[in-house]
Structure 1
Amino acid sequence: MSKPMTKTQLVAALAEEMGSDKKSAGAALDAITALITKEVSGGGAVTLPGVGKIYCRERPARMVRNPQTGDQMPKDADKVVKMTIAKALKDSVNG
């Protein structure tokens, strides 16, 4: 398994793909990240065509176990960010 692509590498690849400079590619990436963060933190979902869907899911309050002591304790309800991967991406990886 190779190392994950860093933000610098992603910006460079995006600039090359767009045929523009790294500064505008970085600004575009930051804008997309801000939009996704704003939408998902507000309870919405964002679909990136060919990549997947990013959404927020609420988890109910539950009992959890402390692995060190074995004691049961309550955990409050919270929200988690989830991502469903698009079929096209799954197929390109497996095919």
Structure 2
Amino acid sequence: MNKSELVDAIAAGADINKAAAGKILDAFIDTIIAAVAKGDQVTLVGFGSFKASTRAARTGKNPKTGAKIKIPATTVPRFSAGAGFKAAVAKRKK
């Protein structure tokens, strides 16, 4: 499912037009990005949690030359699925 298909599904499920559904989805995504970027955790019970996580500095390898390179520490977004989400996916795979 891509973004336009998701907008269509939201519009149908909420009985609103596609333009409104698109604005709602964009606002939802922007709000989560802004909150996680400032260090907050966003938790949607049953769905999951979005948070920022620190990735430690490490040594990598240039695949072309084989030379070792230093990869600096960085902060990355993480998503952890909630129990309801995990259960729905597990049920689907059976």
TM-score class, shorter-chain normalisation, is 0.7 to 0.9
Q: Which residue of 2 aligns with 1:7?
A: 3
**Count of residues paired in the alignment:** 91
Deviation at 1:44, TM superposition (A): 1.4
Equivalent residue number for residue 43 of structure 1: 39
Which residue number in structure 2 is paired with residue 75 of structure 1? 71
TM-score with structure 1 length normalisation? 0.87
TM-score in terms of structure 2 length: 0.88
2:67 & 2:59 partners in 1: Cα distance? Answer: 10
Q: Stretches of 4+ moved more than 4 A in 1?
A: none
Question: Which one-letter code corresponds to 1:26 in the other structure?
Answer: G
Instruction: Work out the CA distance in 2 between the residues paired with 1:72 and 1:50.
Output: 43
* Structure 1 unpaired stretches of 5+: none
